[in-house]
Amino acid sequence: MRNLILSAALVAASAFGMTAQAAEPVAGKEYIELSKQVPVAVPGKIEVVELFWYGCPHCYHFEPVINPWIDKLPADVNFKRVPAMFGGPWDAHGQMFLTLEAMGVEHNVHAAVFDAIQNQRKRLTSPDEMADFLATQGVDKDKFLATFNSFAIKGQVQQAKELAKKYEITGVPAVVVNGKYRFDLGTAGGPEGVLNVADQLIAKERAAK
């Protein structure tokens, strides 16, 4: 089912092309209003959340598009990634991401993990396999394993799963603005469309303050 959702998103993205939509996005078309607003992580800032999975090729190809955009976000916007976890390798990869984030090294190895899974065909689904690969990227193996298996990370895994439920996501990549609006490649019309919708919804939330 997840593959069907992702394939549908890719087909929609191809149909609409890679150009951003100029018109103001419409609720129920380019984005969905969540049934209940989800609290943001940093009160007072406009939050943008990207839900992703390391095993998702669409998420991987979205990286070169969204990363330059993230770098240029204004100070009143807080961006964060949340791993989507639907079981199996989704959960393993999500726990790895949260571990690396807790260790403060995620930004150093994020691209390498994506490349290993997408291009080198590494599974990285067991803690030891993860640790061995990450050691080649300068991450302390013992510290990684201790953190991965910690009570704190297991708590973060549950929090991430709860967030995904509250965001009502069914596939990735998906973006949520300020805990209110959710959209993806299919609804927004491709990667550039996603950024256009995000920009306009950020402006909408800023104007509403």
* Range(s) within the chain of domains with CATH label 3.40.30.10: 1-84+171-209, 87-168
What's the confidence (pLDDT) of residue 209?
Answer: 85
96-109 confidence digits (pLDDT tens): 999 999 999 999 99
The confidence band for 11, taking pLDDT boundaries of 50, 70 and 90, is very low
Identity of the residue numbered 117: I
Separation of alpha carbons 200 and 22, rounded Å: 10
CATH superfamily of 1-84+171-209: Glutaredoxin (3.40.30.10)
CATH superfamily of 87-168: Glutaredoxin (3.40.30.10)
Answer for the pair 147, 98: CB distance below 8 angstroms, yes or no.
Answer: no
Give the pTM: 0.88
Separation of alpha carbons 109 and 18, rounded Å: 28
What stretch of H or E contains 33?
strand 32-33
102: Cβ contacts below 8 Å, ≥ 6 apart: 147, 152, 153, 156
High-pLDDT (> 90) share of the chain, %:
89
What's the confidence (pLDDT) of residue 22?
Answer: 54
